[in-house]
Structure formats: structure tokens, C-alpha cells
């Protein structure tokens, strides 16, 4: 039997009642950066995203559009795929819950639970939010019986359904949380999950009979599976659960499910319980990030604060788009998007700090060294000591990526970018040139180009286009995509004599918006 050899990272699968906004893209970009980061570190990676296409909410949206649900989802899914291309998302697969490969395996998994007596029929009545596709208890509702997430009226729903014996798995869940305190991150959220389980788990309904848009329940004609059972199972159906045991064993359990905090309960309680019931291992880690706020509120289309990736990419470019959200907001906490803060990041971090040093260094190599990387003439000396410290701090700090602390990782990387700026100022290659100090000039400009190479490697998970452009300017013979850490960040690996090409500015001045 194969053993796990793949780093497996997922995003939630997105409801296709809508086109993607920056809140959805936030999770997707973060997952992409992690996937690229692990590939850079030499891991075999499987990065999954996709769309959640069943359920009452989708069926209603389709009806409003006077389409069949299938027509509606087929019409919207291409918009999601476009977003992936626009944002340079390097997913290895894209799963749609309407695909036969998924539906068949969902039925197989659920049949397993049924056969072993984990499902029973009962009637349930309670307040239901169609947007969440979830029941609430009365005391979870806010204001005048509104859904706590969507702040819209709930519906009183009474259905005879098949129920999953969730309550039976409470001891297994508590054991999971105790033995794997990193299962839920950030760590504060584990307490939230644990308290929820300790307060007493209710069994949850696993089928619906009031509508047809779902995966048919094999043992109960007229019932379809509750959309969350169907949706969560995407994480195993996409990696060949029930179809190819070897392929499945190489990827499962997932290393990390990236999700927003609103769907933590589904991922940290229901999902591991389903897996334990089905005899599968729970995922290794569930990381819940915060919400993007606009004007103090959760950004969403329904409160008219909807902002779409294409609008921002058109103005700031895709690299800044990817950089901004991860650098500006602590992953795990809520954070405010504003046009002004994005403009400030572009101007300060990208154009002034990074773009400028690239331009200056390559200009000087052009004018003082005939456009070729000069010979350093020996190992780095005392003049390079501070820069060497910044380099070491950046390489070390980038490891925060593994804990999904993108902000800290990027701050660390920028110590090197700023350090390089300081080094250029301190060494003043223009005066070395003027004084004819050829040896020092060679060492200084070699060191600068060498650090730009390291920077290109280290920014590549976050800003793949800018990294590629910078790499090309440096005239390096190897392919950026073949670089692997830690070797690729070692100083001194830049070949002498390579022809650099200043080319266009990496981050040109922004047009007036």
C-alpha cells in the first residue's frame, strides 16, 4: 500500500450562486501561496479548489434566473475558472460537485455510514438559513430572528430526514483536539470548537426531501444528501477516495484545509466526525482566516460593498493584488480592505523599496560593468556583514509561511529588501566607480545582483509574475521554477558574467485612478 508523499492543501469549494469577489479570492490566493511555497521547498504538492453546486440556495438562484440548476451552474463556473487564471492560481485540480466522479463517491461514502448504522430517520424542525444551508438554534439567532452570519430572516423548516449520529463521535473529537492541538488554527479557535462539542452535540440531518438538486440518496428515493455532506466530501472524492486506493493513500489526509471562520464548525466538527465514522483519518490542520471588511462590515455583494478581483488587478496588477492582502492583514484576523492602503503598499513596498533597488542595481551594472555580472573577487567582507544578517533573517523569517503567517514572512523578506537598499546607500557604488575602486565595486555589485536573485526566489510564491520578470532581468541560465530551497537562497550562487537586462520597471508609477 502506498504511503502519503504529497502535501495536500485545499480551499473551500465555492457556492456558485454568485461570481467571485475579493473575499473568495482571499482564501484562494493564500492557498496558492502556500502551495507554491511548499513546491519551492521541494514537496510534491496537490492543491485543490472547486465549486459547491448543489442545494436549495443554488436551486432558488437558478429559478430566479429562469434556468435549470444545471444551466445556471454551467453558466457561472467559467467565471470562477477565470478568476483562477487572472490571479495565477496554480491549482492541480478543480472539482465540481456536479461531476459524476464526485457524486458516485459521495454515495459510496454515505452508504458506508448507513450500512454501519450511523444514520437514522427523524423529523427535525427549527430555524434554517438557506444562505448558510444550516439550521440554527433559537439562541444563536440575532436581533429579530436573523441569521448571525447573513443578518437575514431565517425560515422555519420541518423535514423528515435521515440523521447522522454526530453525537456518537463527541469523545473521538475531544480526543482529536487533545492529541492534536494544532488541528485548528489560529489556536484561539480551537477553544471555540472544543466548547461547542463539550456543550453537547446534536445529531445533524444528512438528507433533504423538499427539493431535488443534490446527490441522490441511494437507499431512499426522493432524498438528496444535505449539501454540506456532499460538499465536505469533495476533499476526499477529488483524491480518488473509493476509486484508486493507492492514489488516495498518497494524498490523504489533507495537510491543511484553508477556510474562512464562518465555516469552521463544518470543518472542525462535522467533517472529522464524518471521516472518523467512515474509517478515514481526519485532516491534519484546519486554518480559519478572518473576514475582509469594507467600511467596517464583512465585504459581500448583498450589502453592496462587493469588490471584484478584476477591478483591482486592472489598476495594481496581479502581483500587488496577491502581495497586498497577505502583507496588510494578519492571516487569521479580520482586516480592512481600502483602496488607499493598497495604493500605499504598492508605492512604498513595491515601487519604492523593491522596484527601485532592482532598477538602480541593474542600471549600475549596465553602466559600470558593461551589463555583465562582475567578479566579486573574493568572499564577502566586513562591508557586507549587515546585509548578510538581513539575508539570514529573511531566509529564516520566510519559514513563517508554514504556519500561514504570511504577514510575518513578508515582513522578514522586506528586511532583506530594505537591507539591500541600505547597503547600496552605504557602499555608494557610484563613488567606488568614480574613485576607480574596481575591486570593491565588483564585490558590491555582485553582492547586489546575488541578493536580487535570492529575492526573486523568495518572492516567487507570492508574486510569481514579478519574480519571473526579475529573474529574466538577471539573465540567469537556470529556470526559476526549478529552484529549490534551501540551496536557491544561498548567497554566492549567481554566475559571474551573466548578461543583465534592466528592461521595463517592475512596478511602474500608478495611473491616476
* Cα 213 to Cα 98: distance, rounded to the nearest angstrom: 10
Q: Should residue 54 be labelled a site residue for ligand MSP when binding is judged by CB under 6 A?
A: no
Chain residues 199-238 in contact with ligand MSP, contact rule CB under 6 A:
231-232, 234
Per-position DSSP letters for 362-404, written without gaps between them:
HHHHHHHSTTBPPP--SS--GGGHHHHHHHHHHHHHGGGGGGT
**129 catalytic residue (yes or no):** yes
The three cell numbers of residue 232 are 465536505
Q: Which is nearer to ligand MSP, 24 or 38 (CB)?
A: 24
Coil, helix or strand at residue 308: coil
Stretch that binds ligand MSP, among 9-17, 62-70, 119-127, 137-145 (CB under 6 A): 9-17
Q: Should residue 136 be labelled a site residue for ligand MSP when binding is judged by CB under 6 A?
A: no
Identify the residue among 48, 217, 292, 313 touching ligand MSP (CB under 6 A): 292
Q: Which is nearer to ligand MSP, 149 or 392 (CB)?
A: 149
Identify the residue among 7, 8, 9, 14 touching ligand MSP (CB under 6 A): 14
* Cα 182 to Cα 373: distance, rounded to the nearest angstrom: 46
Identify the residue among 19, 24, 46, 59 touching ligand MSP (CB under 6 A): 24
**Closest residue to ligand MSP using C-beta atoms:** 260
- Residue 26: alpha-carbon gap to chain centroid: 7
Q: Which is nearer to ligand MSP, 229 or 323 (CB)?
A: 229
Residue 14, CA distances (Å) to 28, 234, 470 in order: 10, 11, 34
Q: Should residue 106 be labelled a site residue for ligand MSP when binding is judged by CB under 6 A?
A: no
Q: Should residue 113 be labelled a site residue for ligand MSP when binding is judged by CB under 6 A?
A: no
* Cα 197 to Cα 84: distance, rounded to the nearest angstrom: 36
**298 catalytic residue (yes or no):** yes
The three cell numbers of residue 48 are 485543490
**267 catalytic residue (yes or no):** no
Q: Which is nearer to ligand MSP, 263 or 400 (CB)?
A: 263
Q: What is the DSSP letter of 396?
A: H
Shortest gap between Cβ of 235 and ligand MSP (angstroms)? 7
Q: Are strands 224-225 and 207-208 parallel, antiparallel or unpaired?
A: antiparallel
φ/ψ (deg, to 5) at 265: -60, -40
* Cα 110 to Cα 107: distance, rounded to the nearest angstrom: 5
**223 catalytic residue (yes or no):** no
φ/ψ (deg, to 5) at 239: -110, 35
Cβ neighbors of 163 (< 8 A, separation 6 or more) are 119, 120, 121, 122, 124, 203, 204, 205, 206
Stretch that binds ligand MSP, among 152-160, 254-262, 435-443, 450-458 (CB under 6 A): 254-262
Coil, helix or strand at residue 375: coil
The three cell numbers of residue 197 are 462539542
Identify the residue among 23, 374, 419, 491 touching ligand MSP (CB under 6 A): 23
**132 catalytic residue (yes or no):** yes
Q: Should residue 262 be labelled a site residue for ligand MSP when binding is judged by CB under 6 A?
A: yes
Identify the residue among 6, 8, 9, 27 touching ligand MSP (CB under 6 A): 27
Shortest gap between Cβ of 298 and ligand MSP (angstroms)? 5
Q: Which is nearer to ligand MSP, 341 or 438 (CB)?
A: 341
- Mark residues 293-332: x for contact with ligand MSP by CB under 6 A, - for none: -----xxx--------------------------------
Numbers of helices and strands, H then E, in the chain: 19, 15
Identify the residue among 7, 8, 26, 114 touching ligand MSP (CB under 6 A): 26
**315 catalytic residue (yes or no):** no
Instruction: Give the H/E segment covering residue 47.
Output: strand 45-52
* Cα 314 to Cα 323: distance, rounded to the nearest angstrom: 15
Note whether 91 and 48 are within 8 A (CB). Answer: yes
Q: Should residue 96 be labelled a site residue for ligand MSP when binding is judged by CB under 6 A?
A: no
Angle between helical axes of 406-427 and 356-368 (0-180°, round to 10): 40
Shortest gap between Cβ of 299 and ligand MSP (angstroms)? 4
Q: What is the DSSP letter of 153?
A: B
The size of the interface with ligand MSP (CB under 6 A), counted in residues, is 21
Any bridge partners for residue 344, and if so which?
A: none
**434 catalytic residue (yes or no):** no
Q: Interface residues with ligand MSP (CB under 6 A)? A: 12-15, 23-24, 26-27, 52, 231-232, 234, 259-260, 262-263, 291-292, 298-300
Q: Which residues are catalytic?
A: 21, 24, 129, 132, 147, 150, 298, 301
Amino acid at each position: 500500500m502506498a504511503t502519503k508523499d504529497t502535501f495536500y492543501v485545499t480551499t473551500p469549494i465555492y457556492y456558485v450562486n454568485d461570481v467571485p469577489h475579493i473575499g473568495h479570492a482571499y482564501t484562494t490566493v493564500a492557498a496558492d501561496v502556500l502551495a507554491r511555497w511548499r513546491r519551492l521547498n521541494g514537496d510534491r504538492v496537490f492543491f485543490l479548489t472547486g465549486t459547491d453546486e448543489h442545494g436549495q440556495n443554488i436551486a432558488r438562484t437558478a429559478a430566479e434566473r429562469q434556468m435549470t440548476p444545471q444551466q445556471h451552474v454551467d453558466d457561472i463556473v467559467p467565471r470562477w475558472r477565470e478568476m483562477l487564471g487572472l490571479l495565477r492560481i496554480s491549482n492541480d485540480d478543480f472539482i465540481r460537485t456536479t461531476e459524476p466522479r464526485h457524486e458516485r463517491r459521495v454515495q459510496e461514502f454515505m452508504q458506508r455510514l448507513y450500512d454501519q448504522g450511523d444514520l437514522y430517520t427523524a423529523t427535525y424542525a427549527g430555524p434554517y438559513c438557506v444562505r448558510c444551508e444550516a439550521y440554527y438554534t433559537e439562541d444563536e439567532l440575532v436581533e429579530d430572528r436573523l441569521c448571525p452570519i447573513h443578518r437575514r430572516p431565517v425560515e422555519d423548516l420541518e423535514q423528515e430526514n435521515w440523521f447522522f449520529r454526530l453525537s456518537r463521535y463527541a469523545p473521538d473529537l475531544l480526543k482529536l483536539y487533545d492529541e492534536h492541538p494544532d488541528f485548528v488554527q489560529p489556536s484561539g479557535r480551537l477553544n471555540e470548537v472544543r466548547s461547542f462539542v463539550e456543550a453537547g452535540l446534536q445529531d445533524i440531518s444528512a438528507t433533504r426531501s423538499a427539493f431535488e438538486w443534490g446527490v441522490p440518496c441511494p437507499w431512499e428515493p426522493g432524498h438528496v444528501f444535505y449539501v454540506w455532506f456532499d460538499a465536505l466530501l469533495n476533499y476526499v472524492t477529488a483524491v480518488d477516495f473509493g476509486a484508486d486506493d493507492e492514489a488516495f493513500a498518497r494524498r490523504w489526509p489533507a495537510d491543511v484545509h484553508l477556510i474562512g471562520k464562518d465555516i469552521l464548525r463544518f470543518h472542525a466538527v462535522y467533517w472529522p466526525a464524518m471521516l472518523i465514522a467512515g474509517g478515514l483519518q481526519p485532516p491534519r490542520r484546519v486554518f480559519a482566516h478572518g473576514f475582509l471588511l469594507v467600511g467596517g462590515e464583512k465585504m459581500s455583494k448583498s450589502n453592496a460593498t462587493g469588490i471584484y478581483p478584476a477591478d483591482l488587478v486592472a489598476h495594481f496588477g496581479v502581483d500587488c493584488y496577491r502581495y497586498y492582502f497577505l502583507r496588510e492583514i494578519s492571516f487569521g484576523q479580520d482586516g480592512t480592505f481600502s483602496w488607499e492602503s493598497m495604493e500605499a503598499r504598492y508605492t512604498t513596498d513595491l515601487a519604492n523599496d523593491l522596484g527601485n533597488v532592482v532598477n538602480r542595481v541593474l542600471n549600475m551594472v549596465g553602466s559600470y560593468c558593461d551589463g555583465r555580472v562582475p567578479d566579486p573577487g573574493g568572499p564577502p567582507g566586513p562591508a557586507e556583514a549587515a546585509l548578510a544578517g538581513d539575508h539570514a533573517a529573511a531566509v529564516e523569517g520566510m519559514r513563517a509561511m508554514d504556519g500561514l503567517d504570511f504577514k510575518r514572512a513578508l515582513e522578514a523578506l522586506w528586511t532583506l529588501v530594505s537591507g539591500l537598499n541600505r547597503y547600496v546607500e552605504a557602499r555608494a557604488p557610484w563613488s567606488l566607480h568614480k574613485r576607480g575602486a574596481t575591486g570593491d565595486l565588483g564585490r558590491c555589485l555582485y553582492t547586489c545582483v546575488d541578493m536580487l536573485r535570492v529575492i526573486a526566489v523568495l518572492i516567487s510564491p507570492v508574486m510569481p509574475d514579478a519574480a519571473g520578470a526579475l529573474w529574466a532581468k538577471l539573465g540567469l541560465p537556470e529556470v526559476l521554477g526549478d529552484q529549490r530551497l534551501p540551496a536557491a537562497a544561498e548567497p554566492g550562487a549567481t554566475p559571474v558574467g551573466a548578461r543583465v537586462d534592466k528592461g521595463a520597471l517592475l512596478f511602474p508609477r500608478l495611473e491616476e485612478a
